[in-house]
Homo-oligomer: A and B are copies of this chain.
Amino acid sequence: MLLEVFREISFSTEESNFVAEKLEKKKLKKGDILFRTYDVVYNQYYVCEGCLRTYFLDNSGKEHTLQFAIKDWWISDYTAFFTTTEAIMTIECIQDAVVYKISRKNMEVLYDQVPQLETFFRKKMEKGFAAFQKRIISNLSQSAKERYTSFIRTYPNIEKSVKNYHIASYLGITTESLSRIRKEIAQK
């Protein structure tokens, strides 16, 4: 099981048991909510299968998708998770999923006891941080069509399993614009 979540790390048997105790497996159904805005966020989630998304609900009731998480991604409201405060986002399961959850408190214990895990998560953070830098640049400088093309490159198999308004709300466009972009690409 640890091989699944921490594939890159080799643990001793003792470490392996210690780490396994800190993770909890959960099966989720489409539509399940892991936490909502204003809930205190204690956990982050590793996706084994299925698909989750985090979204932000603005004052006018419009949803803005921040992230999708498919196999081998970690997901949470990280501002809230790192400081154990209230979420500004909601996490929703959008395709039946199996996840492992781990609490902030247990992560601190693991960092202390199993230093390879600190290295592992430091590297994950670096990748995530770099990916967000790229996404901000892309939001600032690319057209909606270019952003859609990057999106399909980043999440190659996701389109079948998510709704059009999820994708549109990730790209910051309307579902009508999304349809127009898809038609343009199909006609090429």
A136 touches B139 (CB 8 A): yes
Tell me whether A64 is interfacial, beta carbon within 8 Å. Answer: yes
The segment out of A17-25, A91-99, A127-135, A155-163 that lies at the interface is: A127-135
Interface string of A97-140 (1 = CB under 8 A from B): 00000000000000100010011011001111111111111011
Closest to A111 in B: B119
Contact call A118/B125, Cβ cutoff below 8 A: no
The number of times this chain is found in the oligomer is 2
Main secondary structure of the interface of A (DSSP, over half): helix
Q: Which residues of B contact A121 (CB under 8 A)?
A: 122
Interface residues of A in 32-81 (CB under 8 A from B): 56, 58, 62, 64, 66-67, 77-79
Residue A82 interfacial (CB < 8 Å) = yes
A134 vs B82: C-alpha distance when bound (angstroms): 13
Please determine whether A139 and B137 come into contact, CB atoms closer than 8 angstroms.
Answer: no
State in angstroms the CA–CA spacing of A119 and B117 once bound together. 11
Among A78, A135, A141, max chain B CB count under 10 A is at A141
5 further contact pairs, Cβ within 8 A, besides A56-B141, A78-B133: A64-B140, A78-B129, A79-B131, A88-B134, A118-B119
Could you jot down 17 A-B contacts, CB within 8 Å? A56-B137, A56-B141, A58-B141, A62-B141, A64-B140, A77-B133, A78-B129, A78-B130, A79-B131, A82-B126, A88-B137, A111-B119, A118-B118, A118-B122, A122-B122, A128-B129, A132-B132
Identify the A interface with B (CB < 8 A): 56, 58, 62, 64, 66-67, 77-79, 82, 88-89, 111, 115, 118-119, 121-122, 125-137, 139-142, 169, 172
